[in-house]
Amino acid sequence: MNPKEAQELARLLEKMPGIKPIELKDVRKLAELLNEFPHIGSIEVKGLFDTGIVVTRAGASVAFAAPAPAAVPLAAAPAPAVGPGVAVPPAATPPVASTLKEIKSPMVGTFYKAPEPGAEPYVKVGSRVTAGQAVCIIEAMKIMNEIESEVTGLVREVLVDDTQPVEFGTVLFRVDPNA
């Protein structure tokens, strides 16, 4: 589903009685909560047909924002207590910069590696891809969306299993543009 179709769906759902869309200002407030309270790992708001938003601290992704319930209770988990004699784990080291380019999911849905069951996958590790080439399908709301590569190169990693649910921004493939 492209953004224009998503907006049209949101407009249609707004007309249904009892449904209030999530506003951008509300999403911003949720993101501000993550900054204010670092112990909150993520905030997920689900609405009609399991649509909604997902705000995650690590990676800062925001999924398809569609109508959801107007009042959603948010419960913040208390920060873990650190006292004398309690070991604090060391901070994670930042990942080493990679020359691999990532192909990410542009939507929430189900990942399919092939155009139909039993068919050869679009790509696999070692496949050469070109920009604009279909690399997989993401099914969202019973619509099959072909996902195209934005990079030319050699597929080095396939990070998602067939029929696995994916979120917006999930890394699907890593491609070596220098190979």
Q: Which of 89, 87, 10, 105 is nearest to 48 (CA)?
A: 10
pLDDT in tens, 43-71: 666 665 556 666 555 544 444 444 444 44
pLDDT in tens, 5-53: 767 766 776 666 655 666 777 777 777 777 777 666 666 666 655 566 6
Number of independent structural domains in the chain: 2
Based on the domain organization, do 105 and 62 belong to the same domain? no
Domain end, chosen from 44, 78, 112, is at 78
| DSSP three-state, residue 126 | coil
pLDDT greater than 60 at residue 146: yes
pTM tops 0.85, yes or no: no
Q: Specify whether the CB–CB gap between 170 and 160 falls below 8 A.
A: yes
Based on the domain organization, do 113 and 72 belong to the same domain? no
Tracing tokens 């907006």 back to the chain, one arrives at 7
Q: Is residue 143 part of a domain?
A: yes
DSSP lists the bridge partners of residue 147 as: 136
Based on the domain organization, do 66 and 127 belong to the same domain? no
Q: Is residue 94 part of a domain?
A: no
Based on the domain organization, do 25 and 68 belong to the same domain? yes
Which pLDDT score is estimated for 72?
43
Which pLDDT score is estimated for 1?
65
Domain end, chosen from 78, 110, 143, is at 78
Winning range, highest mean pLDDT, from 45-54, 97-106, 110-119: 110-119
- As a whole number of angstroms, the distance between CA 175 and CA 179 comes to 9
Based on the domain organization, do 129 and 164 belong to the same domain? yes
Q: Go through 108-141 and write b for each residue having 16 or more CB atoms within 10 A of its CB, e for each that does not.
A: bbebbbeeeeeeeebbeeebebeeebebbbbebb
Q: Is residue 93 part of a domain?
A: no
Q: What is the CATH number of the domain that holds 148?
A: 2.40.50.100
Q: Is residue 5 part of a domain?
A: yes
Based on the domain organization, do 73 and 113 belong to the same domain? no
- Which residue range forms the structural domain that includes residue 69? 1-78
Q: Is residue 111 part of a domain?
A: yes
- As a whole number of angstroms, the distance between CA 101 and CA 176 comes to 6
